Structure 1
Amino acid sequence: MSTGKVVLGTVAGLAIGGILGILFAPQKGSVTRQQILEKGNDYADELKSKYNEFADTVSQKLNSAKEFAQVLAENGKAEYDEINNDHHTESNYKL
């Protein structure tokens, strides 16, 4: 199971549990609605934070992959140039 699904499931479970706890608490409706709103905002903030962490991780991994590809391409070009130069040098000796 992916990390995103686990985080989403956890946040959803916490939200449902919090809302049910508030709904069954013996308080006035206006107080209960305010608590639900506050809990919803808290969960939204937590979910946004988790999403941002996930996006940052993905971004870092993409940058690492890009840097690796650049180094690999540079090394490949250097190898090609070296082989090409060696081939031309050998051709000159045969003349």
Structure 2
Amino acid sequence: MSNNSNTLLGILAGTAIGATLGILFAPDKGINTRRKLVDEAVSAKDSLAETALDLRDRAATTISSQANTLEGKLESVVSDVSYKTEDVISQLEQKLKDLKTKNRKLQKS
């Protein structure tokens, strides 16, 4: 995403600079040149604003996607731990039962 952003900003900056230089070196009246410069500046500002909004939207989408992925992984880990806990408790209960049986046998002897 960073390379795409840098490339896009470079293209926009190059276009704005080229258009400005072209207007400055074109033989035209000063008022017309200034009007063209203002129009180009407004166009560049609008283009940059649109690019910034696009980047913001893509970043928000990426963050949302990563948050959902992380949430899913967390739920999976919690579920796995829950099942493993149940297994450990079952094994401990079985061991306790075996120990109680052995204890009864020892007390009868």
| TM-score bracket for the superposition, by shorter chain length | 0.7 to 0.9
Please state if 1:61 is matched with 2:73: yes
One-letter amino acid of the structure 2 residue matched with residue 23 of structure 1: A
One-letter amino acid of the structure 1 residue matched with residue 47 of structure 2: Q
What is aligned with 1:24? 14
SS in 2 for 1:24: helix
Alignment: residue pair count: 85
> What are structure 2's unaligned runs of at least 5 residues?
20-38
What is aligned with 2:3? 13
**Alpha-carbon distance in 2 for matches of 1:31, 1:20:** 16
Deviations 1:20-68 (A, max 9, x none): 2122223701100110010111011101111111111111111101111
Cα deviation, residue 12, structure 1 = 2.0
Picking from 32, 49, 70, the partner of 2:82 is 70
> What are structure 1's unaligned runs of at least 5 residues?
1-10
User: What is the aligned-residue identity percentage?
Assistant: 13
Picking from 56, 72, 75, the partner of 1:44 is 56
TM-score of the two chains, using structure 2 as the length reference: 0.72
Give the CA RMSD over aligned residues. Answer: 1.3
